[in-house]
Structure 1
């Protein structure tokens, strides 16, 4: 691959923002220099004073652009991949829903094939299996008919695909499933859709839970005499996902969470469904009808059912409602999920030797260019959020 360079960008690193540097890359990040040899042959990209950032990694997304990870069409994941790269995502985990076992297995097979194809959009890094190992009383938008107790046999043939499993640990008698999964450290167990007590949650974390699925949502809440799952997550040092759409969580919580958990333990996610990036209307999620307005996705009874959030807006929302530095927040959407998945030596930040997963965005967080492993997969022709996108 020809060596490439980005000039006139504000390069976002882990602890600072660099101005006046040239970013060199091919498939990997090669370096950041003051100047290059004018005789050296390079492919140039002018950032025009905009931010140059590591690409976002969304570890919990069900769909976007009219497609869903549970769709039976084999190319659904590829469509999601191309759509979300327009919002700055360079790697993601398509999330399954609580449906019949055959449907879940079909979805995991489709995700596996998408990983093997290594398409032109955001990289499919594996699957997030959300359900069916959840508690009926905290099912959220999941279909109670298909909820199961944690069962290793259901996932045994898909351990090459699954990277995160959301489960209610109180449903796992004697923590048998959690103990079985210790033989597969590449799979992260995440507490979510759980009715556990504080004590039950703390014990599960001690045994092997490493993350929390959409903190505060679909779990026992915090009370000063009954801290619940939320209290256990805040007390522990596990990672926690948050849906920063200002609806699932009051934006005032962002700062509190940053102080209690620390910005290195927060992971921004979208939990988006097929209506993300589309018009308001009626859609489906996990086989259930949902209504989408310009802010939220809900079941007929008003229950929140995923979101229409995009990663660039999650970053923007968190920045506008906290005193955190931009670089800290960017890494909640890039480096922190990479750390959880154990791929921080390859992805998640702009550093020499890592994959050239790079995005360029403006002051309004509109993504202008998305680069995946050195290849441009999206470029906006004009800095206009309403302009039709150019897919390369």
Structure 2
């Protein structure tokens, strides 16, 4: 059996997922955190141990909605190599675990993506938690950038073959509840799927029924869903209810949702059930200004990516920027922003016993940050992968 060496880090400030601590020493062996202890004098300790010192150490970020990175789009190359590329690129921005996301596509592509993720899970590939099918059971009225020809009603026989991911990892499906038959959401939930509502023209009652049937997420809140208006609360109104535990993904890039709308949503729902997501495409971690995207051309400019007619095509956002924007654009505290990037996604995925905190026994998947919340180093499962 391979003996893991002890890794030691020193943090001037440590956010353990719930509290801020100063002058902390963190040790880990292999994938798991061993101990967290206070030190009297960081400079003396560090000189004797000769190890990393970070300004801020926080639980690594978890991105439940990420389509690509570093030139790789999962739809274009549904392969294990694309997953490795996405993990490596997003690690630069503090992401330690992700749900690679497949935009609505043909069954053949869905099947290839499924096989790649199952292979990654079997190999215990660091950083891959499972996968997220965004579609194809969406409403054409609210399709956004999804290709209408790929949208369809579910075929249970074919879908059943894609549920294997939920046996060894996490599986999310974003769907429009009005596009699927009665009992379908309950069936998915019983199969271990995390059902999210998105790209939907549902009314409030339809969306509420989906929640009662077991849906627990709302994909990119406000985008591609019926808005909250005076006499029809829509999907947004259902998302902001708090009587049932549901979580809302927020693309905090300043382009998808106005900061004031995000502030209002958080005031209604609370930070505890808000997740920062990127919805990133292959532009993140790449220098390309224009690129192919699902048969179209997308243009990258001023922090956003759009088709030639101006439709947003995913995002050019990374998790560290989302954290900074949550602090500076939305006006939340650093604690809240860091929780929305780590502990809240962990709770949504029901992996909060391993991720989202810096405590003994938790995964050594950590992010080192500067005082202004830029990533200086990243560890995934105890391995330093950036910085």
Per the normalisation by structure 2, the TM-score is 0.91
1:60 aligns with 2:60: no
- Which has the larger displacement, 227-236 or 210-219? 227-236
Between the aligned partners of 1:73 and 1:323, the Cα distance in structure 2 is 39
Matched residue, 1:389: none
Question: Could you say what secondary structure the match of 2:279 adopts?
Answer: coil
Question: Could you say what secondary structure the match of 2:62 adopts?
Answer: strand
Deviations 1:253-310 (A, max 9, x none): 2322222111110000000001112235221233332222132111222111100000
Between the aligned partners of 1:139 and 1:55, the Cα distance in structure 2 is 32
Q: Which runs of 5+ in 1 are unaligned?
A: 380-392
Matched residue, 1:257: 265
Asked if 1 retains the 8 angstrom alpha-carbon contact of 2:32 and 2:362, the reply is yes
Asked if 2 retains the 8 angstrom alpha-carbon contact of 1:151 and 1:177, the reply is no
Question: Could you say what secondary structure the match of 2:23 adopts?
Answer: coil
Matched residue, 2:134: 130
Instruction: Tell me by how many angstroms 1:167 deviates.
Output: 0.2
Asked if 1 retains the 8 angstrom alpha-carbon contact of 2:366 and 2:378, the reply is yes
- Which has the larger displacement, 353-362 or 151-160? 151-160
Asked if 2 retains the 8 angstrom alpha-carbon contact of 1:60 and 1:271, the reply is yes
Between the aligned partners of 1:327 and 1:348, the Cα distance in structure 2 is 12
Compute the RMSD of aligned alpha carbons: 1.9
Instruction: Tell me by how many angstroms 1:156 deviates.
Output: 1.6
Q: Which runs of 5+ in 2 are unaligned?
A: none
Alignment partner of 2:7 out of 4, 15, 24: 4
Question: Could you say what secondary structure the match of 1:75 adopts?
Answer: helix
Between the aligned partners of 1:296 and 1:188, the Cα distance in structure 2 is 28
Between the aligned partners of 1:373 and 1:116, the Cα distance in structure 2 is 16
Per the normalisation by structure 1, the TM-score is 0.90
Deviations 1:319-360 (A, max 9, x none): 012342211210111111111111110111112211111110
Between the aligned partners of 1:307 and 1:79, the Cα distance in structure 2 is 17
The 1:288–1:108 alpha-carbon spacing in structure 2 relative to 1, beyond 3 Å, is farther
Which consecutive aligned stretches of 4+ in structure 1 deviate over 4 angstroms post-superposition? none
- Which has the larger displacement, 165-174 or 70-79? 70-79
Alignment partner of 1:341 out of 331, 337, 349: 349
State how many pairs are aligned. Answer: 371
